[in-house]
Chains A and B, each alone.
Chain A
Amino acid sequence: MSSTKIFLKSSDDKTFEIDETAARASETLKNIIDGGCLDGVIPLPNVSSNILPKVIEYCKKHGGDNGSSKKIANGGVDKDKEILPDYDEEEDKREKVRVDELKKWEEEYMDFDQQVLYDLMLAANYLHIKGLLDLTVEKAASMIRGRTPDQIRENFNINSDFTPEEEEEMILIEDEWDDEWAFD
């Protein structure tokens, strides 16, 4: 595919450049491109200039190879292989290296604070970038996993709005599902 340049405009009127192939990682952009409505700059009123470069970075990495990004997003397959090091086929080895690299990249990529996380998640949702959405959602989930409701409230700045009676009920539920869930 040719490397046509696409221009994206953030909510605060800054313009960013992205290859068409990379842009196709986003369903939304892909539809715009395929729909032939490409008219110079694509405005993205929901994405700020703080976040857009981050999004573009992801798209660049994942633009061409839907396959492996999907694999990473699904998470399952490569984990399998870690457990099973004696997977002896060459092909699998190469695949593993690729997946590992991608995984490492994603780890570094995902190193940011909560606010960015939300914004990125919203942007991924808006732009329909499945892999990125999965990544961000999973990260958010990891911030909830294994925590008590109190910790979650604190972490996410949420106030409990239960009535005292409901509160009691919640405590019961909470106890019932107390941690040490073996497979957390």
Chain B
Amino acid sequence: MEKIMPKLLLLTAAVSMFTTLGIVFTLLFETFTFFSRVSIVEFLTAKEWLPWNEKSGSFGIAPLVTGTLLTTAIAMLVAIPVGLASAIYLSEYATERTRKIIKPILEVLAGIPTIVYGFFALTFVTPLLQKIIPGLEVFNALSPGLVMGIMIIPMVASLSEDAMSSVPNAIREGALGLGSTKLETAVKIVLPAAASGVIASFVLAISRAIGETMIVAVAGGSSPVLTFDVTQSIQTMTAYIVQVTTGDAGYGTTIYYSIYAVGMTLFVFTLAMNLLAQYISRRFREEY
């Protein structure tokens, strides 16, 4: 038994590894098929994404990328400041008891299905925002961006809090002993000491926002337009994939293959972010 167990465990680990490899392989293979029909130059440089138009169709990824980056940027404007402030509160100010109550609540927030957030954005946040911004369309970048930000707060808060909590107390005492206030100690000593973990949490949050699907599919719209206007309907890379897979594009059509190319682009973005996060936490690791 003792001899079989490690092999069994290795096998289970191998399952997830091979699945990942399989996915990457499929993605690559179908992406190549797509690029045999549409030139990669057009894909990267054309300014329009009009896959539904049979004759004068255009496959420029730019509008989908800007749609994704727009919602991601809005989400980060919410998630980074609020998440970081929560982390500072939890790590530096909250008593052990408060922390034990708040942290699980934050983690529950992270467990809400994203489709719920999507409908929350569409049916609650958008109407609310329309009262403040009269020109806001029913589908827009702002509302799903904000809600996505709220969704990501717990992730930033939790990971940053872990990084800050692992800064030894002796360092805090050193700062307090020089007459620093608690806030000065938190911002000027603890936060820089925990910088690698905190920045890694930001990068992972960005990666999460780029890959987020349901919120933007439900509330962001399906108009791939090259714009930075947050009140307009947009389309993200993920939302486009949802649109195609739930629609009636037949197997083997260019549209069918286009989702793999878009998926590949998405994969490159999130992979780059994850590698960046790893690099940052290794490169700037603090030895206390």
Q: Are A and B subunits of one complex? A: no
Interface residues in chain A, defined as those with a beta carbon under 8 Å from any beta carbon in chain B: none
